[in-house]
Amino acid sequence: MQVHQLDRVDYLSTYEAMQAFTEARSRETSDLAEQQPAGGAPDQLWICEHPPVYTQGLAGKTDHLLNPGDIPVVQTNRGGQVTFHGPGQVVAYPLIDLKRAGYFVKEYVYRIEEAVIHTLTHFGVTGHRVTSAPGIYVRLDDPFSHAALTGPMHPSDPFRGLGKIAALGIKVSRHCTYHGIALNVAMDLEPYSRINPCGYAGLTTTDLSTIGVSVSWQEAADVLGHKLVNYLSP
């Protein structure tokens, strides 16, 4: 997998570049299918951060945008609802040919989440999955506890005691992935209060800095990139 660090880049132009890359490699793979089934463009991983922007998924509802103010809203073709990107967040876009990699979408999502969980472990933090709510969460009262989440979630507040630290949204076109994962490192979290993050009213969003982990964007980007390359390998 080729890894490209793009630094801070405009969201819309990056989204359009992902689409163009995926469309081009889909055509190339189709042309090579008969004589070279494993051919086509190499997989890539783009790592970046974005200026402040809200992005809306295909299932996105406008009532989850409470008060976007002067932050632009971009409609996208990824799954999920509305989320926020901004400085201090590591955004990773795996551009993977799943057919060549040899696994399906459900496992792809699992592998991305595993990469994030192991990135958090590198910094001493325990990440958790929540059933039917893609992304990774931490215990707000003790993010360093190794205890697993146990028992049924509270029916009126399934995220009670948890903060979302990584958001996941993907698109798969002809077996090829784009969009990806965003890990919050040291952000201005206020813009999350202007939306229902990922469509969940009252969901607390946090970052490494808020839970007491002081790490640079570059170090977090390097660790996450390394884990993604490992866990997304065929």
Determine contact, residues 179/170, Cβ cutoff 8 Å: yes
- Of 164, 180, 191, which is closest to residue 53 (Cα–Cα)? 191
Q: Is 176 a catalytic residue?
A: no
CA atoms of 11 and 200, how far apart (whole Å): 23
Determine contact, residues 230/4, Cβ cutoff 8 Å: no
Catalytic residue among 198, 220, 223, 224: 198
Determine contact, residues 232/115, Cβ cutoff 8 Å: yes
Token pair 């795996």 in the structure block, residue: 94
The order of strands in the sheet holding 89-95 is 2-8, 44-49, 89-95, 176-184, 162-173, 133-139, 128-130
Catalytic residue numbers, as ranges: 198
